[in-house]
Amino acid sequence: MANLVVVDDETLVTDFLKFLLEDAGHVVHVASNGAEGLQTIQHIKPSLVVTDFMMPVSSGVDLARALSGDDDFRQIPIVLCSATPHAVDPADRALFAAILQKPYPPSRLIELVALHVERGGAGLHGQP
């Protein structure tokens, strides 16, 4: 079981991912934009973050940049799930452990989460 943060402005997406990832045995925390996501991550210190790109207040790339600039959080793998991944600047792609284009097979996300959570090790059992 790992602590995960899902950041997306669409409730349909967060509701579904919460269901999917909880069903896979994880604890899921939800935020609706990059800024809210950053606050949640700072509070939760999750093992992995799943984020959308286009969101109000601050984007998924803004969130990833903020995390990469913080020693306490830069090791957290971030999976970007977006309908418009091509809009991400090539230089920013390195901020993400993986990029999925919506719509994607849910099993693919489950695999990615399992892979990166396992690799992350330290954050695996992190609790707030």
Partner 1 sequence: MDKLARLRSEVPGLDDICDGGLIAGSSYIVQGRPGAGKTILANQIAFAQARQGHKVLYITLLAESHDRLFQSLSALSFYEASRLGKDLTYLSLFRTLREKGLDALVALLRSELARTQASILVVDGLLNARESSETNLDIKTFVAELQGHAAFTGCTVLFLTSARIDESSPEHTMVDGVLHLEENLFGSRTVRHIRVAKSRGSRALSGLHLYEISERGIAVFPRLEAALARPSTEETVSLTKVATGTGGLDERLGGGLPAASMSVVVGPAGSGKTTFGIGYLNRATAERPAVHFGFYETPERLYAKARALGLDLQTLVVKKALCMLWRPLTENLLDKLAYELLDAVRTTRAERLFIDGLAGFERATVDPHRMVEFFAALSNELRAIGVTTVCTWETKELSGPWRTNPSPEILSQIDNVIEMRHQAEGGPFRRSITVLKVRDSLFDTSTAEVQISGLGNGLHVTGTMPTAPGALGYDASGR
The full DSSP string for 75-101 is TS-EEEEES-GGGS-GGGGGG-SEEEE
Give me the least distance between CB of 122 and partner 1, in Å please.
32
91 touches partner 1 (CB under 8 A)? no
20, 24, 27, 54: residue in contact with partner 1 (rule CB under 8 A): 54
18, 65, 102, 126: residue in contact with partner 1 (rule CB under 8 A): 102
**Total residues interacting with partner 1, rule: CB under 8 A:** 19
Only segment of 21-29, 42-50, 68-76, 86-94 that touches partner 1 (CB under 8 A): 86-94
Q: Could you tell me the two tokens for 43?
A: 């509070």
Residue 9 or 124 with smaller CB distance to partner 1: 9
CB 17 within 8 A of CB 48: no
Give me the least distance between CB of 86 and partner 1, in Å please.
6
Residues 4 and 56: their CA atoms lie apart, in Å, by: 21
Residues 72 and 18: their CA atoms lie apart, in Å, by: 25
CB 27 within 8 A of CB 19: no
Only segment of 18-26, 53-61, 69-77, 109-117 that touches partner 1 (CB under 8 A): 53-61
